[in-house]
Chains A and B, each alone.
Chain A
């Protein structure tokens, strides 16, 4: 492998012992503190590459067999001024001996490139007493008095918060190797962290090679040198030495974020057209697709707006190529009228909504789960459709394949609700074994069966087969107006009633194929937590923690929201209390003006209350942050102690 050649080369240059392998150069693990897991954050000014360092660190850890969840810290502005809170850009990596399903609670270690950027995160309470802060120390001797002062004040403040501060000469050390340390500091940091956590340096080098694959050899080499330098510096100067045992995975794994998983799902489903308009946090799916969908026989259309994007997808679906459109809240709002048409005219369609904070432009980069009611009830008139919510990154992949199948079999739009948390979270999962049956079948061009209408509804199931342009004898005019089975416009009362019922019946038919949801924990108890979407990992972790302390709490996670998985009422009856945990708005019972009668509940809670007539409570917020297991745990404890 040529990576090892390069590694050998810089090894000869920078290590006294030019013969030993890199692994041999790493210190004995016996003097290391063995941990079950750690949460690490790297925060820098936008553009300093903290994310790149963190992604590489996460990938290396996954390759070493650790469970990993990484999530990016994204600045809100495009060009925030440096050394400001707005400029904070970075990454959180939670990694451990076992599978990691969420971003976790307070960080154990923070690497900061200056003293200002951590404050964005401090305001979000993501550090605790004892959090180790490894901070660039060049600001202590900066020529500006203000900066020196600011640095000194912050360091004092960090200490008073109980952080354990290590001041690190990052830039000074990098300057030994490169005249422009701003560009390479992140790789030096990766080297430093690799020593602290006993990462496999060969794997880190391979990762750098991959990250900079489109760059010149000089760039790659310089980054590899910085990696080694950071590693060596930590070995000589830092006493922090951890070990997080891992088991080399028996299965082949892939590691990606939820949006990339969606992109892979689209291709594995054989969907040949993605029609979209850019919107955060959905766009990165399209970026990934744009890079590779042409190689798998598909294409991306960037439309002039979201209305045109969904119209284009519906046109292609009508012509036999079931298509996908990807969006987020504001775009979903624009697609509303076309969604109603797809329901009414029974056009298969896959809609992916990567939810963000709303209403309106809201919190573009932040997580919220607040489009559930909008997708269900956002269209005027009755508009039954299937709604799925993946709860893991792996499900982001598989649910697209499922969604296309449902859309085609049931001749209706299927909406997939992901969110910013899944979109940016990176997690390894077993590499899917692609199957031919996942791909959409070729467009049927055989003559249409004589005597069969365009909507030859089966009375029992509501299902019908659709003619596709090119099928001789199947000619019909699709319309969004009320229509008969022959697709003729009609306003006859009985026909409208009947066709509405048939469209609704399809949902019931599909619902009959679903199994009751699996309960995490005991089948009965004091408290049942119900969640949906990206919160699953955090909820189950909190439930496990409470159960370890004897709490009689269980949870269930709904992945089908329309129709809902069956048996909920029976399950709910077995618990003293049922409460949803969601990331969307609900009135708190003790808010001013709020009574049990006028309280507005979180979105799933509304649905469950209506569906089961159980007095389902909710715990939700719109902080724009992923829910932390610690917060959920505290809430569970509060409920159980009542």
Chain B
């Protein structure tokens, strides 16, 4: 064509991925389960970011939510209860080219996997974590979860649970080297998507807590959460999450919060009356262990052999 020089021709991606490139099978969650909404949002995110399915890995633990990878047409690792974090970190450590997501439930993450969870925050690898917090054990049929509110009636506490719940936001914000902590809700699709996108784009360990509906076991709570819009407030800031107009209109309570202010973030996380949706804290400069893990990749066989030989020299008789 006239005037178009060779170097102006941009390289188009070989393939454009559509939603169907990320979809696999029919999700077997209960109707009305919040997990469906997150699945759709994640598939949308993959398309929006044009993530090559072969370069994308979803790692999960065990639970209803942890079935998630089976419904993604990417690589997946549906491992052990509570152990998604070490697996995901192991995947990422020597494979910086892979996009890694962790899918975990409140029992999976905050109970059996708590040790691995807080260390994953500290490792701050470039991984997007989605905590499906439905405040109950869904998979094993309604046992108290560490995030269940006091008085939650469950099969292990028929007269109501007695311990105060773990606050995953507070815990994350309290851990050394935390770099991205956000909250959203499965029934606010615009906000959910914007949060996932911000988390994916964050250079480090993005911890996204999604307030989830378990329609099967937590009906009254779901009802309360989804109808009482006054109990929700949207965090706003130019460096925060930018939800769609619809979300901002539907939820009247807004609160300005600078995500670089960790003390303010901690105060918001402790608020028992209001659930804030948005970005609590972000630090793009936090030390990243995945960069350390990938710093000496790609040695040639000759380099490896000569390094080992040099070491052996010291042991030579």
- Residues of A bordering B, CB below 8 Å: 59, 62-63, 210, 249, 252-256, 260, 264, 267-268, 270, 272-273, 275, 292, 294-299, 301, 303-305, 307-309, 311-321, 323, 337-338, 341, 428, 431-432, 434-436, 439, 443, 467, 469-481, 489
Q: Are B91 and A469 in contact (CB under 8 A)?
A: yes
Rounded to whole angstroms, the CA-CA distance of A249 and B317 in the bound complex is 9
| CB–CB A315/B91 < 8 A | yes
For the complex formed, measure the closest distance between the CB of A70 and the CB atoms of chain B, giving whole angstroms. 13
Question: Assuming the A-B contacts A294-B296, A316-B93, A316-B94, are A308 and B317 also in contact, with contact meaning beta carbons closer than 8 angstroms in the complex?
Answer: no
Cβ of B230 < 8 Å from any Cβ of A? no
Q: Does B115 contact A (CB under 8 A)?
A: yes
Contact pick for B307, options A59, A252, A295, A320, CB 8 Å: A295
CA distance A536 to B75 in the complex (A): 46
> 25 pairs across A/B with beta carbons < 8 Å?
A210-B314, A249-B317, A254-B312, A254-B317, A255-B315, A264-B311, A267-B311, A273-B94, A275-B90, A292-B308, A307-B86, A308-B86, A311-B79, A311-B90, A312-B87, A315-B93, A316-B90, A316-B94, A317-B90, A319-B98, A337-B80, A428-B317, A469-B55, A470-B97, A476-B75
Which residues from A are CB-within-8-Å of B73? 475
Given contacts A255-B315, A436-B301, A473-B54, contact A311 B309 (CB under 8 A): no
A260 to B311: give the CA distance in the assembly, Å: 11
Residues of A within 8 A of B88 (CB): 315
Contact status B80-A311, CB under 8 Å:
yes
On chain A, the residues within 8 Å of B45 by CB distance are: none
In the complex, what residue of chain A is closest to B118 when comparing beta carbons? A304
Q: Which residues of B contact A254 (CB under 8 A)?
A: 312, 315-317
CB pair A469 B57 closer than 8 Å:
yes
Q: How far is the CB of B280 from chain A (nearest CB, A)?
A: 24
Say yes or no for B77: interface residue by CB 8 A criterion: yes
Check if A267 sits within 8 Å of B308, measured CB to CB: yes
Knowing A255-B315, A431-B312, say if A315 contacts B87 (CB, 8 Å): yes
Which A residues are in CB contact (< 8 Å) with B52? 472
In the bound complex, CA of A298 to CA of B75 (Å) = 25
Determine the chain B residues whose CB is within 8 A of the CB of A443 once the complex forms. 95
Q: What is the chain B residue whose CB lies nearest that of A448?
A: B54
Cα-based distance from A309 to B89 in the complex (angstroms):
10
Scan B279-317; emit 1 where CB is below 8 A from any A CB, else 0.
Answer: 000000000000011001111010111011111101111
The docked-state distance in angstroms from the alpha carbon of A583 to that of B102 is: 44
A480 engages B86 (CB within 8 Å): no
User: B316's contact among A252, A301, A481, by CB below 8 Å, is which?
Assistant: A252
A312 CA / B304 CA spacing, docked (Å): 23
Contacts of B54 in A (CB 8 A): 469-475
Min C-beta distance of A172 to chain B, whole Å: 35
Q: How far is the CB of A192 from chain B (nearest CB, A)?
A: 23
Select B94's contact among A253, A299, A489, beta carbons within 8 Å. A299
If A273-B93, A477-B72 touch, whether A308 touches B85 (CB-CB below 8 Å) is yes
A315–B59 contact, CB under 8 A?
yes
A634 to B226, CA, bound (A): 80
A275 to B308, CA, bound (A): 19
Number of A-B residue pairs with CB-CB distance less than 8 Å in the complex they form = 194
In the assembled complex, the Cα of A475 lies from the Cα of B308 at a distance in Å of 36
Q: Is the CB of B308 within 8 A of A434?
A: yes
Is the pair A270, B304 in contact by a Cβ cutoff of 8 Å? yes
Q: How far is the CA of A312 from the CA of B91 in the complex (A)?
A: 7
Closest approach, in angstroms, between the C-beta of B142 and any C-beta of chain A? 21
> Are A308 and B119 closer than 8 Å at their CB atoms?
yes
Q: What 0/1 readout, one digit per residue, does chain B (116-146) give for beta carbons within 8 Å of chain A? A: 1001000000000000000000000000000
Question: Is B53 part of the binding interface, using a Cβ–Cβ cutoff of 8 Å?
Answer: yes
Find chain B residues with CB under 8 A from A431 CB. Answer: 312, 316
B76 near A477 with CB under 8 A, answer: yes
Contact between chains at B78 and A479 (CB < 8 Å): yes
Set of chain B residues within 8 Å of A312, measured between Cβ atoms:
86-87, 89-90, 93
Going nearest first, the 5 A-B pairs with the smallest beta carbon separation are: A315-B90, A297-B299, A477-B76, A311-B86, A312-B90
Assess A480 versus B80: contact at CB under 8 Å? Given A273-B94, A301-B93. yes
CA distance A273 to B88 in the complex (A): 15
A486 to chain B, nearest CB (A): 11
Interchain CB contact under 8 A, B304 and A297: yes
Nearest chain-B residue to A308 (Cβ)? B86
Q: Does B105 contact A (CB under 8 A)?
A: no
Are B98 and A469 interface neighbours, CB within 8 A? yes
A59 touches B115 (CB 8 A): no
**Residues of chain A with a CB closer than 8 A to B307's CB:** 267, 292, 295-297
Q: Is B44 on the interface with A (CB-CB < 8 A)?
A: no
Q: Is the CB of A476 within 8 A of B301?
A: no
Q: Determine if B83 is an interface residue (Cβ-Cβ < 8 Å).
A: yes
Give the complex CA separation of A275 and B91 in angstroms.
12
Does B47 touch A at the CB level, under 8 Å? Answer: no
The closest CB in chain A to the CB of B70 belongs to: A477
Which of A292, A295, A308 is B115 in contact with, Cβ under 8 Å? A308
Does B259 make an interface contact (CB < 8 A)? no
From B78, B93, B97, A477 is in contact (CB under 8 Å) with: B78
Q: A308-B83, A308-B86, A476-B76 are in contact. Are A319 and B57 (CB under 8 A)?
A: yes
Q: Is the CB of A341 within 8 A of B70?
A: no
Q: How far is the CA of A435 from the CA of B308 in the complex (A)?
A: 11
Q: Are A477 and B77 in contact (CB under 8 A)?
A: yes
Which residues of B sit under 8 angstroms from A272, Cβ to Cβ?
A: 94, 297
- Name the residue of chain A whose CB is nearest to the CB of B76: A477
Enumerate chain A residues within 8 angstroms of B303, measured Cβ to Cβ.
296-297
Q: B75 near A477 (CB under 8 angstroms)?
A: yes
Q: Is the CB of A264 within 8 A of B70?
A: no
- B310 and A341 form a contact (CB under 8 A): no
A267-B308, A316-B94, A472-B52 are contacts. A307–B301 as well, Cβ < 8 Å?
no
Bound CA–CA A253/B313 (angstroms): 10
Is B69's beta carbon under 8 Å from chain A?
Answer: yes
Q: Are B116 and A308 in contact (CB under 8 A)?
A: yes
What is the distance, in angstroms, from B85's C-beta to the closest C-beta of chain A? Answer: 7
Residue pair B90, A323 in contact (C-beta under 8 Å): yes
- A304 and B80 CA atoms in complex are apart in Å by 17
A311-B86, A477-B75 given; name 15 further pairs at CB < 8 Å. Answer: A249-B317, A272-B94, A297-B299, A299-B94, A305-B115, A307-B83, A308-B86, A312-B86, A315-B59, A341-B79, A443-B95, A469-B91, A477-B69, A477-B76, A477-B77
Question: Which residues of B have CB within 8 Å of A320?
Answer: 95
- The answer to whether B95 and A321 have CB atoms under 8 Å apart is yes
Quote the shortest CB–CB distance from A414 to chain B (angstroms).
18
**Among candidates A59, A268, A313, residue contacting B317 with C-beta atoms closer than 8 Å:** A59
How many Å lie between the Cα of A473 and that of B68 in the bound state? 20
Whether B87 lies near A314 (C-beta < 8 A) is yes
Contact B296 A299 (CB under 8 A): yes
**For B90, what are the chain A residues with a Cβ–Cβ distance below 8 Å?**
273, 275, 301, 311-319, 323
B74 contacts partner chain A, Cβ-Cβ < 8 Å? yes
Separation of A315 and B59 alpha carbons in the complex (Å): 9
Residue in B57, B83, B299, B311 whose CB lies within 8 Å of A338: B83
Set of chain A residues within 8 Å of B308, measured between Cβ atoms: 264, 267-268, 292, 296, 434
Nearest CB of chain B from residue A400's CB, rounded to whole Å: 12
B53 — nearest CB in chain A belongs to which residue? A475
Q: Which residues of B contact A303 (CB under 8 A)?
A: 86, 119
- A249 to B316: give the CA distance in the assembly, Å: 12
Measured between alpha carbons, how far is A618 from B298 in the docked complex, in Å?
Answer: 50
